Amino acid sequence: MRRKPGNNYRTTVSSELAETLLQEGWKKMDLHVHSSCSYDVPPARAMHPAVLFEKAKAKGLDYVTFTDHDTVEAYDLLGWDREGLIPGVEIAIKDSENIGHTLHVNVFELDSEEFGELEAIANQEHDFKSFIRYLRTHDLPHVYNHPFWFALGDKPNLLAVSELIKQFPVVEYNIQDVMEKNLITVALARKYGKGLVATTDSHAGGMGSVYTLAKGDTFREFFDNIKRGRSHMVVEGETWEHMTKELNAWVELVFSLDRQDRKEMDFSTNARTFDRAVGFFARERLREFPRLNHTTMRFFQNFSRSGLPAYMYIRAEKSMVSRIEKVVNLTA
């Protein structure tokens, strides 16, 4: 396995060592976070970008970003030049002719004009080559998100993923995805000399429970060190633990909404059966009956705390993991 000189492949460190590194001047960031500006996040006050920004700073994140789905509204609300805030977005692009399935790409340090041009390439041209060429030409930091996650209804082109990883400077270890997928991603990143970031991909305010460490007095220096492998990921706890916390927080957010907001809900987690059950009850007239609303919320919270929804999701993904392993082994 070839590795680029200088790359540090001790990818994860303990939280104790992370604290030591932070005291030595390393910086801490969660590079994949969603706010209420994303279509799939409950529009609760607790998820407003301003509230989340303060929460992120209180958790010790040196750089804060909101990578909402195909929107930069968070920066219109907060201001594009706020200190410590890094403009970012998660853009979905589906190049049916050359790839087949949908990719999610985080892009950073862009402005509203660059966002508009990238969205046009993604939604009108559907051309991945033009998309990646634009990112390189404009020198925009970018990350290949959850390479082995696939949108509902997509037909995964597993053979394409390894080739796609080659096109990106950095790939993501996403704590919302199953560990086996993340470990395959790490192996491919090592094989092709790519940087790695650990992210929460939180849709319920849980940013910073895993994070990436690197040196850098600016975000650009921070990201460049990640690209060169001069970084560490702090990932403690199993996927089901993180997912269970996320689901529990998500349930509380959903049941705190007023009736009108619930009617307009279009948000979900990876545990789709659980989502449908919560969505069904949350759309009923429970808000008019506070005690019943509270009881229903507690039921779903207790159910999520049991770990069963997370377990069901992880179990459902096992067949995909087996397919991925076969394809990766064939192309290794």
pLDDT(119) > 60: yes
Report residue 12: phi and psi, to 5°.
Answer: -115, 145
Distance CA 249, CA 287 (A): 18
Q: What is the mean pLDDT of residues 24-41?
A: 96
Distance of CA 289 to the CA centre of its chain: 35
Q: What's the pLDDT band for 166 if we cut at 50, 70, 90? A: very high
Report pLDDT for 84. 96
Report pLDDT for 280. 75
Q: Which of 205, 173, 198, 202 is closest to 188 using CA atoms?
A: 173
Domains and CATH numbers, the chain: 15-238 (3.20.20.140), 241-310 (no CATH)
Distance CA 288, CA 153 (A): 36
Q: Name the one residue in this structure whose structure tokens are 């805030």.
A: 85
Q: What is the mean pLDDT of residues 239-259?
A: 87
Spatial neighbors of 11 by CB under 8 A, at least 6 apart, are: 173, 186, 196, 232, 233
Helices (H), 24-111: 49-58, 73-78
Distance CA 176, CA 314 (A): 10
Report pLDDT for 266. 59
What number of CA atoms fall less than 13 Å from residue 113's CA on the CB side? 1
Report pLDDT for 8. 41
The b/e string for 217-254 (b: 16+ C-beta within 10 A; e otherwise) is eebeebbbbbbbbbbbbbbeeebbebbbbbbbbbbbbb
Report pLDDT for 318. 84
- The pTM of this model reads 0.92
